[in-house]
A and B are shown apart, each in its own frame.
Chain A
Amino acid sequence: MKPLLRGLGLLLALVSGGAQAHSGSTAYLQVQVEGSHLQLRADYALRDLDDALGVDGNEDGELTWGELQAASPVLLAYLAPRFTIMGDASPCALEASPVVQVTEHADGPYAVFRFSAQCAGSPRQWQFGSTALFEYDATHRALLRWQQGAEFSSARLTPTSNSLVLNGQRGALDTLRNYLHEGLAHVWSGWDHMLFIAGLFLPAALRREGRGWQPVARLGPALADAVKLVTAFTIAHAITLCLTALGVVSLPTRLVESLVALSVLFAGFNNLVPLAGRRMLFALAWLFGLIHGTAIAGALLELGLPASGRLIALLGFNVGVEAAQLLLVGVLVPLAFALRRWRGYVPAVLWPGSTLVALAGLIWFIHRAFAMAWVLPI
């Protein structure tokens, strides 16, 4: 019977669905970086310090301010060597302030310790780690807030992941890579942009004859036409993207977004009912390119350009955007070419596809131009 008594405790706790009371052991670490100098404020729960190292000198269950002060050399001797701070892979000299303070977090009183670290040179990359208290409590977490200039980042240190690398001043290559990625991601996740391009290039391997469509004979001219079209579009929107992102022009978002929707509607509709001939289409691609560039710049404005390396960031973003849409064209045009002689292409792909594009454009247009707030799946 005796051992079951324990099992029973377990059972009750289990049936409770693991009811979580209080909060787990948490430390709050705040770092401020200025040049090669780093300041760390570390808040540890008094309760955790008492459990791990002993704060209650006279063991009467009352932790006093006097006792915390008396224990602080021991506490600092424990904490200080458990921090790892490196600038560009060389360790920084950490110094503890003898002044200890007290603060209240949501779950009780905490002791506040302050450290400063001097690193060699002016590091571009930092490494920060702490192993404190993990050996006593496997669910202890150190929440880190890292401030460098106006930039904040945050992270969580755990027993199995107790150290991390932070990039300080970003190198030009990093900036380029980051913004290139953002440009790619923006186009791939923006349906209106992709649908516009799809609408333009669905009939890439066909040419109009009277009221119907005929397949082109060779891939070469079709591809060349597609490249011309996409180049016109691309140059146009690169221009407005840069002008808008640099703050030279600024157009109302609602106007721009509505015009983008209109361009999608046009791209689809033009395949169903011919509105623009070949020459006219180039002109329109150019015009719509200007509008799309303004729209895409909106995303870049939200993302923000770095103070240093604005042009590199802009270049990266632009290259990302172009790469994403060229990728789509590169898949779409050969596919359309391969299927061009298939009798089902016009009735089963071109018409329904174009109708879908036009419909999406129409819905977006009404939605954006008249600020209608119905729920759209996209």
Chain B
Amino acid sequence: MRSTTAVALTLIAFAPFVQATEPFIPSSPDTVLLQRVPGAAKALRSTRSAIVSGDSATRLASAQAALDQGHRTGDPRYFGQAQALLGADWTAPAPSPVARLLRATLLQQRHDFAGALRDLDALLTADPTNAQARLIRASIRMVQGEPLQARPDCAALIGQAGLLVTATCIGSVGGLTGQGSAALQAIELSLAREPQAPVAIRIWAQTQAAEIAERLGDAPRATEYFAKALADSLATGENDVYLKAAYADFLLIQGRATEVQSLLAGQTDFDPLLLRLALAEDQLAAAGDARAKGAAALHLNELLARYALAATRGDPPHRREQGMAALHLQRDIVAALQLARQNWAEQREPADARLLLQAAKAAGNQAAAQPVLDWMKQTRIEDVRLQPLATALGTMP
């Protein structure tokens, strides 16, 4: 790890330094500086001391635990810890299957889809029955906007995974390829048939069902599934950032900004949720709420500071969210269109398509929207949020 490579001085912003308060000495030894989950750090340290002994199974189990905790809490530090725990496996050409699956998961987490696919392809070549690898590969294909390529992996899950998992995987593909109604029905049936399925899988299936219903324009059903998924998620005590962001996006389209506010209250630690909160406040401000206007401005500033820090750190950028902020909050159409285009080159989910269509429409740039219009034609996706935008762009002079 120790290297003395000289790096060129990068002209990075000083802003993160300026944000700190003057250093101080607290008044009393009992002053509480930070609240944490009791014992969590100690557990972490004791697993680490086990790793020093060189036991690879313990090391990989700890990496897996860190990864799981990252997903449960939405806190990126755990992914960095998991990567550190992988040690030499992180750069090895062909680590053990367990290590390789962990590495693939971390790679897709940081949007290195090509790297993740390389590992997943190798894993599935060696062991076609690796259901986890299949599921991750299928979902990467879907995120990349290639649902038809995901279908064989979902189909291969039949007999290797439970009914609900298989049906949700296949249903997700159907929901992106013009078979939304049938897909929704299949997921609903499987939810009813497998009430004993683990709650995490039920939450996933319900979220997928909600999103398919939303795209089909069935708002009551979407509301129903989002609410069910959220209730299950709250019951497990996990923080499902993706679910909340998707639900908030749905509510924002419906103009239900006050519901977004209550959904996301106290969740501003999470950048995607802070963004949705600011979007909700912006909607309320447009309707004449003066207090919401101030809050939106404040939250936008906070968000931009976080994006700046992430850039200074050299983190992989989150262009979809930065594009949404640029388009709807900063109202910088040029920047929004550029971000939307770059984002579309990386990931192609319906939300990414929507961002590019909106930005292209705002910029009056039909050509910029063409890749999305082609993609819509090719996948035959049904989406009531995309169709009107596509029609408007198609009839632009």
Contacts and interface: CB of A to CB of B under 8 A. Distances in A.
Contacts of B142: 15
A7 interface: yes
Size bin of chain A's contact surface:
35 or more
B318 interface: yes
B9 A65 contact: no
Interface string B6-47: 110111111011011111111011111111111111101100
Contacts of B68: 6, 9
Contacts of B41: 50-51, 54-56
Contacts of B198: 1, 5, 8
Contacts of B313: 23-24, 26, 141, 143, 156
Nearest to B309: A23
Interface stretch (A128-136, A207-215, A238-246, A283-291): A128-136
A64 B30 contact: yes
A348 interface: no
Interface string B104-135: 01001111000000000000000000011001
A75 to B, nearest CB: 14
B64 A105 contact: no
Interface stretch (A96-104, A298-306, A329-337): A96-104
A23 B315 CA distance: 10
A4 B132 contact: yes
Contacts of B26: 65, 102
Contact of B12 (A10, A18, A68, A143): A143
B28 A156 contact: no
Nearest to A28: B17
A229 to B, nearest CB: 39
Interface residues of B, number: 104
A106 B240 contact: no
B155 to A, nearest CB: 16
Contacts of A189: none
Contacts of A62: 32, 34-36
Among B132, B310, B312, the most chain A Cβ lie within 10 Å of the Cβ of B132
Nearest to A158: B314
Given A25-B77, A63-B36, A19 B12 contact: no
Given A106-B306, A131-B1, A16 B76 contact: no
Contacts, number: 301
A79 to B, nearest CB: 15
B19 to A, nearest CB: 5
A37 B309 CA distance: 30
- Which DSSP category, helix, strand, loop or mixed, fits chain A's interface? mixed
A108 B34 contact: yes
A161 B26 CA distance: 35
Among A5, A66, A112, A129, the most chain B Cβ lie within 10 Å of the Cβ of A5
Nearest to B106: A138
Interface string B42-55: 10110010000000
A19 B33 CA distance: 28
Nearest to A47: B34
Given A10-B132, A17-B143, A164-B7, A156 B314 contact: yes
Interface string A107-122: 0111010000000000
Nearest to B140: A14
B24 A101 contact: yes
A41 B23 CA distance: 10
A73 B172 CA distance: 55
Interface string B276-305: 000000000000000000000000000001
Contacts of A6: 64, 68, 132
B190 interface: no
Contacts of B71: 9-10, 12-13
Contacts of A161: 3, 5, 7
Nearest to B347: A17
A166 interface: yes
14 contacts: A5-B198, A7-B136, A10-B108, A12-B242, A17-B351, A18-B108, A21-B74, A22-B74, A22-B270, A41-B23, A53-B45, A143-B17, A154-B14, A164-B7
